[in-house]
Structure 1
Amino acid sequence: MSAKIRYEDNIAIIILDCPEARNALNLHMIEKLQAIVAEISLLNLRAAIFTGADQAFCAGADITELRNKSPEKHLNKIQIGQTLFQQIYKLKFLTLTCINAMALGGGMELALAKHI
């Protein structure tokens, strides 16, 4: 898994759900979150809540994905992640982060992209 969404009372609840990787931001997770953000940006929501499943909110970059990659590939992934954070920041409704456990590196950046 990577991320899932559910709706309650005109509120989107986005759950990072890859516990085996402590909800790390691998490329699949980032792409899934971008798709979710694109979906919810078209809706008339009151708020969106981002949280993590299991033992972490988000452990940041997926280190296993970074091994043996060129500096250009690292930079590309960082830019993709920063684009996601900007997309979240620009949402027209209230966004909240529920940090239920560790938020490291890019995970903290993801948390800080929200209003609260």
Structure 2
Amino acid sequence: MEYQNLTCEIQENIAIITLQRPKALNALNQAILTELNHVFSEHLSREIRCVVLTGSEKAFVAGADIKEMDSMTPIQSRYFARSGQLIFQTIENFHAPVIAAVNGYALGGGCELALACDIRLASQKAKFGQPEVNLGIIPGFGGTQRLTRTVGPGKARELIYTGNTINAEEAHRIGLANAVHAPEELMPETMKMAETIAAKAPLAVSLCKKAINMGTNMDISRAIEFEADLFAESFATNDRKEGIEAFVQKRKANFVGK
């Protein structure tokens, strides 16, 4: 598939995806959602150990494409919401961690896209918010659910009910952003984290992600049992043998993802 609305660059085992609709502030329409789905479900191989997702110019994603939504019927809008939700679930469940490098506006669908990522690093210029109530609609790409799970129900209700936009520092304070960096340092710092993750045992990292994602929706008794199952699964890998041998021999481990 030839991408018109994003670029995907592979640096060794790290993928860098940049959304490229700058004139629309990278707003999410059906075309860009289709390309996002393809790049995560078809284009990226199991060899990828970390993904960096960012936006071009001054926006991460400024929201869903309002012009495209304007003529939607309720039935069409439900299809649009479910399409976005399923694509964001594909990103959320991707085998490797996904880091959102939030370089600017992350509003509406943009905030929801960032929430579907494992980690959010923000530029000092970043803005976050779920302003859908200003348009007479509600978040439709998972925002009511992921924002609540990320920052807690009280703060999520405040942001969603008021439609207020917050800056990067406030996003960091409430746990929506993991860290805040100067604009010129955002991508170098993001790549530094991506390289750190990519150097670890990829199967173990993937199992950790699976344990967190699935265990969060279980009661604690079932979740820790599930963790034990995945712990045992990690012991069946060559990477586990390599990691322990490297530790004992006081050398750097060479993980190959097997």
Report the secondary structure of 1:73's partner residue.
Answer: helix
Q: Which has the higher strand share?
A: 1
The alpha carbon displacement at 1:59 in A equals 1.1
- Matched with 2:238 is none
- Matched with 2:92 is 89
Report the secondary structure of 2:85's partner residue.
Answer: helix
Q: Following superposition of structure 1 onto structure 2, how do residues 19-34 of structure 1 map, counting pairs within 5 Å?
A: 19-34=22-37
The alpha carbon displacement at 1:111 in A equals 0.5
Do the aligned partners of 2:10 and 2:16 also contact (CA within 8 Å) in 1?
Answer: yes
Could you tell me which runs of 5 or more consecutive residues in structure 1 were left unpaired when the two chains were aligned. Answer: none
The alpha carbon displacement at 1:92 in A equals 1.1
The alpha carbon displacement at 1:52 in A equals 0.1
Number of paired residues? 115
In 1, Cα distance between the equivalents of 2:62 and 2:7?
Answer: 17
- Matched with 2:78 is 75
Q: Which has the higher helix share?
A: 2
Report the secondary structure of 1:24's partner residue.
Answer: coil
Q: 1:13 aligns with which of 13, 16, 34?
A: 16
- Matched with 2:105 is 102
**In structure 1, what residue type is equivalent to 2:61?**
C
- Matched with 2:49 is 46
The alpha carbon displacement at 1:43 in A equals 2.6
Residue 40 (structure 2) pairs with residue 66 (structure 1): no
The alpha carbon displacement at 1:94 in A equals 1.4
Which structure is higher in RCO with an 8 Å CA cutoff and minimum separation 6? 1
Report the secondary structure of 2:63's partner residue.
Answer: coil
Instruction: Provide, for residues 14-33 of structure 1, a one-character-per-residue CA deviation record: whole Å limited to 9, x for no partner.
Output: 00010011001100000010
**In structure 1, what residue type is equivalent to 2:59?**
A
Report the secondary structure of 2:54's partner residue.
Answer: strand
In 1, Cα distance between the equivalents of 2:36 and 2:7?
Answer: 9
The alpha carbon displacement at 1:57 in A equals 0.1
- Matched with 2:159 is none
The alpha carbon displacement at 1:3 in A equals 1.2
Moved over 2 A (4+): none
Between structure 1 and structure 2, the one with the greater Rg is: 2
Could you tell me which runs of 5 or more consecutive residues in structure 2 were left unpaired when the two chains were aligned. Answer: 120-258
The alpha carbon displacement at 1:87 in A equals 0.2
Report the secondary structure of 1:74's partner residue.
Answer: helix
Report the secondary structure of 2:72's partner residue.
Answer: coil
Report the secondary structure of 1:7's partner residue.
Answer: strand
**In structure 1, what residue type is equivalent to 2:111?**
M
**In structure 1, what residue type is equivalent to 2:51?**
A
**In structure 2, what residue type is equivalent to 1:71?**
P
In 1, Cα distance between the equivalents of 2:22 and 2:36?
Answer: 16
